[in-house]
Structure 1
Amino acid sequence: MAEKQPASGPEENSVSSRIMHFNQQAEQHQQWMMINPFAHYNVSEMPKRSFGQEEYGRAPAGSRSEQRALAANVQVLQEILQLCEQIEKSGQEDPEGHGSKTVEFGALFDLYNDISDKLLATLLGARKYGFVDFSGETLFQGRDETVPVRLVRPFQELKTEILAKVEDLQCIYVEKIDMEATTLRQD
């Protein structure tokens, strides 16, 4: 009696590719469970993770957390642009003559309160990016009413820089979404 030869048509390729895909998914899941802190009953079972300087404190590449972080960064930059625009509209010329505008914190608080309740966080972010400057570590309503908040450079320069950063982040965000959609279609 003749032995049966394994099928080698498209049916076999489809089954073998599905098995291979399943095995890859299972391997990825096992790798994730090794580093998932909630998958172990005992902390001593969990292997230590090591991060490179560029990875530390960042979401895994391609993850939804990374997409949310990119979207949040875009929103923060848009709020900073709105803050700088308010300073430009309501401020006076900088006495030091840098061609930028200055406004007192109290007046800015009164103006910006109608727009957002996150003035201080936005100010700190804008200072971190190097768009505004003010004295002290933080500002408090009542105590720091007369502290000047100034744009570091003229508004048009800041606007151009902020919009370029927003556009770059949006491009990265769209690329990540497109890559994820392509990956999902392939699966």
Structure 2
Amino acid sequence: MQTESDLSPPPQCSDDGTACVASVKGLKENWQKWSEERQEYQKQNPFSHDTKPTTVVLQRGQDGYGKPLQGSITEQRGKDAHTHIIREVQQLCEVIRDIGEPRGTNGRGRGGDNMNVITVEFGKLFEHYVTISNKLVGVLLRARKQGLVLFQGEMLWQGQDDRVVITLLQ
């Protein structure tokens, strides 16, 4: 009968058996590392039911509430979107300048000076701008919020509001 010491090691192990121990030890270390990384990831995962997130949840009124973390991809996307919208508003103002009619007003501007304005009807602007972008009404609303244009009503509808005058303030 053979004893344990008489058995030869499996072919992938070294004669002294250390290679098998080292590879099993390496597997164990890799598994432990992966397990610890996964636990940390799950702590940050808001959909995990196993652990509670370790991040501090800001309350309404605190600095940073409703804003993405600084340096995050979300923050960069927001900045890129803001830049894109600014370009679209500038392009809309240029189109209104090109196709609109200049009119002087007797009214006073914000600084107390006489205002020179350019006006265009929504229908004419829509027909021209549709080849540029399909977001005319949204860009108009943004431009009005920034104080660059004026028009009556909260929303403009193609066909229904074609005669509404849009005023570009200069």
- Structures share a fold, TM > 0.5? yes
Which runs of no fewer than 5 residues in structure 1 stay unpaired? 1-21, 155-187
> Deviation of residue 99 (structure 1)?
0.8
Q: CA RMSD in A?
A: 2.7
- Amino acid in structure 2 at the alignment position of 1:50: L
Q: How many residues align?
A: 124
> Which residue number in structure 1 is paired with residue 82 of structure 2?
73
> Deviation of residue 105 (structure 1)?
0.4
> Deviation of residue 150 (structure 1)?
1.1
State how far apart, in whole Å, the 1-side matches of 2:44 and 2:150 are: 42
Distance 1:105 1:53, change over 3 A: farther
State how far apart, in whole Å, the 1-side matches of 2:145 and 2:63 are: 19
Distance 1:143 1:122, change over 3 A: same
Residues 123 and 159 in structure 2, CA contact (< 8 A), matched pair in contact too: yes
Matched, 1:50 2:58: yes
**Which structure is higher in strand share?**
2
1:106 to 120, 123, 130: 123
Matched, 1:96 2:113: no
State how far apart, in whole Å, the 2-side matches of 1:53 and 1:106 are: 45
Q: Find the residue that maps to 1:94 and give its secondary structure.
A: strand
Q: C-alpha deviations, 1:82-112, integer Å up to 9, x for none?
A: 0000001111123535212111100000010
Q: Which has the higher contact order (CA 8 A, sep 6+)?
A: 1
Deviates more, 1:57-66 or 1:112-121: 57-66
Distance 1:56 1:132, change over 3 A: farther
State how far apart, in whole Å, the 2-side matches of 1:46 and 1:143 are: 51
Q: Percent identity?
A: 40
> Which residue number in structure 1 is paired with residue 133 of structure 2?
116
**Which structure is higher in helix share?**
1
Residues 35 and 49 in structure 1, CA contact (< 8 A), matched pair in contact too: no
> Deviation of residue 35 (structure 1)?
5.8
Deviates more, 1:54-63 or 1:109-118: 54-63
State how far apart, in whole Å, the 2-side matches of 1:69 and 1:124 are: 19
